[in-house]
């Protein structure tokens, strides 16, 4: 059982909100450069109202993507059907399907018109462990429940199988299926920065941020170019 940590700090923006887990982040939080937002997201909490009980994950690893000026960003070549929400108002969810079987989640940053985003890479499950374990049967340790972008969305139920929140969902909402809670920011001296995982372009840009020494941070993998299809031809 263990239903989360008691401590219902006052909170309660105006009216709604289940105060147990604290308030959601305000819109203004996301109106900054993605790298700045990314750093500030460590220690904050993702709240999922998908399924029979809530699941809450405390963020320990994130990556910033700077839209049109960042060759590693999905928005680098301009708006498309998939990435259009990245060009909209900050604080919304950008969810995408990858490798034919996984889902990853981003928080959109900046004002409408710019295309920043922060990939939610990993975190620590702080509530709803039971449900998270059911959704992540291959995880052997607690620390591996959300130790990767696709693992994190799976633990939260933010995928198609669980009818999770789609791109465009407002994470500032106090009633929606996907929310971003204020939590407790991580002290600057505990934040480490390094190159982003698995990206082919701009591989040296240090826009991956994580909590120093935290066991829930995913292991780094460099980009592996696809196998050359042996030149059959002739």
Partner DNA sequence: CCGCCGATCCTCT
Partner DNA sequence: GAGGATCGGCGGG
- Residue 101 to residue 99: CA distance in whole angstroms: 6
- Residue 125 to residue 134: CA distance in whole angstroms: 13
Asked if residue 99 binds DNA (CB under 7 A), the reply is: yes
Length in residues, the chain = 234
Of 41, 139, 156, 205, the one binding DNA (CB under 7 A) is: 139
- When the beta carbons of 11 and 202 are compared against DNA, the nearer one is 202
**Three-class DSSP category at 127:** strand
Asked if residue 227 binds DNA (CB under 7 A), the reply is: yes
Residue numbers 18-47 binding DNA by CB under 7 A: none
Of 97, 130, 184, 185, the one binding DNA (CB under 7 A) is: 97
- Residue 117 to residue 24: CA distance in whole angstroms: 18
Asked if residue 149 binds DNA (CB under 7 A), the reply is: yes
- Contact map string, positions 57 to 96, toward DNA, x by CB under 7 A: ------x-x------xxxx-x--xxxx-------------
**Three-class DSSP category at 80:** coil
Least Å distance, CB 204 to DNA, is 15
How far, in whole angstroms, is CA 181 from its chain's centroid?
12
Of 6, 10, 138, 204, the one binding DNA (CB under 7 A) is: 138
Among the listed residues 52, 50, 58, 51, the one whose alpha carbon sits nearest the alpha carbon of residue 21: 58
Asked if residue 202 binds DNA (CB under 7 A), the reply is: no
Report the DSSP pairing between strands 178-181 and 45-48: antiparallel
- When the beta carbons of 95 and 174 are compared against DNA, the nearer one is 95
C-alpha distances out from residue 223 to 146, 154, 174, 202, 234, Å: 21, 23, 38, 11, 31
Asked if residue 213 binds DNA (CB under 7 A), the reply is: no
Q: Which residues of this chain interact with DNA, rule CB under 7 A?
A: 63, 65, 72-75, 77, 80-83, 97-102, 104, 106, 117, 119, 136, 138-139, 144, 148-152, 196-200, 218-219, 221, 224-227, 229
């Amino acid at each position: 059982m263990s239903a989360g940590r008691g401590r219902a700090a006052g909170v309660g923006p105006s009216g709604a909100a289940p105060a147990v887990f604290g308030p959601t982040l305000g819109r203004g939080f996301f109106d900054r450069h993605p790298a700045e937002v990314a750093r500030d997201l460590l220690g904050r909490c993702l709240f999922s109202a998908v399924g029979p009980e809530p699941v809450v994950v405390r963020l320990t690893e994130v990556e910033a993507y700077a839209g049109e000026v960042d060759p590693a960003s999905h928005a680098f070549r301009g708006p498309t059907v998939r990435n259009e929400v990245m060009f909209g108002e900050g604080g919304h969810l950008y969810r995408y399907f990858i490798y034919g079987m996984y889902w990853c989640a981003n928080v959109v940053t900046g004002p409408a018109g710019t295309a920043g985003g922060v990939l939610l890479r990993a975190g620590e499950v702080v509530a709803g462990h039971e449900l998270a374990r059911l959704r992540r049967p291959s995880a052997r340790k607690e620390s591996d429940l959300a130790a990767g972008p696709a693992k994190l969305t799976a633990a939260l139920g933010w995928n198609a199988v669980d009818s999770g929140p789609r791109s465009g969902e407002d994470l500032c909402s106090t009633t929606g299926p996907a929310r971003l809670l204020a939590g407790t920011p991580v002290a600057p001296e505990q934040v480490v920065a390094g190159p982003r995982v698995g990206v082919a372009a701009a591989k040296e840009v240090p826009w991956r941020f994580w909590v120093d020494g935290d066991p829930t941070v995913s292991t780094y993998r460099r980009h592996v170019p696809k196998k050359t299809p042996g030149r059959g031809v002739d």
